[in-house]
Amino acid sequence: MQNTQLFSSIHNLTEAYRTILSTIDDAQFQLTPSIGSWSYSEVYSHIFDSSILSVQAMENCLEGQGKKHSTAFIVKVILFLGSLPPGRKYKVPKKLEARVKKITKMEAEELIRRFIQQLEPDYKRMGKARSDIKVPHPRLGYLNARQWLRFIEIHLKHHLKQLKRIENSF
């Protein structure tokens, strides 16, 4: 997938999150579902906070602030296929889990806005990204700028499925 297609996909996924956000009332946004997972609020907090952190990692790669390091084969497969392996529930790394909190719909919209605002200028520099400069991801290991962009797309898709599970639980 080319960088332009990736950016377009990320933009479309972000719009899907905005659309879903507009359909949820304030009380339900905060409500923890009976399935024992995160609330809508916590999913939005996690996905857009971690997306902003991913953009910062991508930016570090673009600035040459990473290391020359290999990417694990299984991670290359995940990035190529464009999804996390199915049939598993993934645990958020403890560092990121500690950042998850219940937020308001207005705060969720602000996180989405900040994410797009930070992503756009870095996306425009992707043509100059070095593939050998990488920054570590807490689970996937070392990723270069383009791999971080692909991860953002995969992660956004993954949590859209979680939002569907939350919706179905109510």
Domain that includes residue 142, residue range: 3-169
- CATH code at position 150: 1.20.120.450
pTM summary value: 0.89
CA distances from 61 to 18, 58, 135 (A): 28, 5, 6
Question: What's the one-letter identity of residue 157?
Answer: K
Query: Over the stretch 133-143, which tens digit does the pLDDT of each residue have?
Result: 999 998 899 99
The pLDDT of residue 45: 95
pLDDT tens digits along 62-118: 999 988 988 888 889 888 988 887 766 667 777 777 788 999 999 999 999 999 999
* Percent of the chain predicted with pLDDT > 70: 96
What is residue 1's predicted lDDT score, i.e. its pLDDT?
Answer: 58
3-state SS, residue 131: coil
Nearest to 143 by CA among 153, 131, 155: 131
Rounded distance between C-alpha atoms, residue 157 and residue 125, angstroms? 24
Q: What is the domain count for the chain?
A: 1
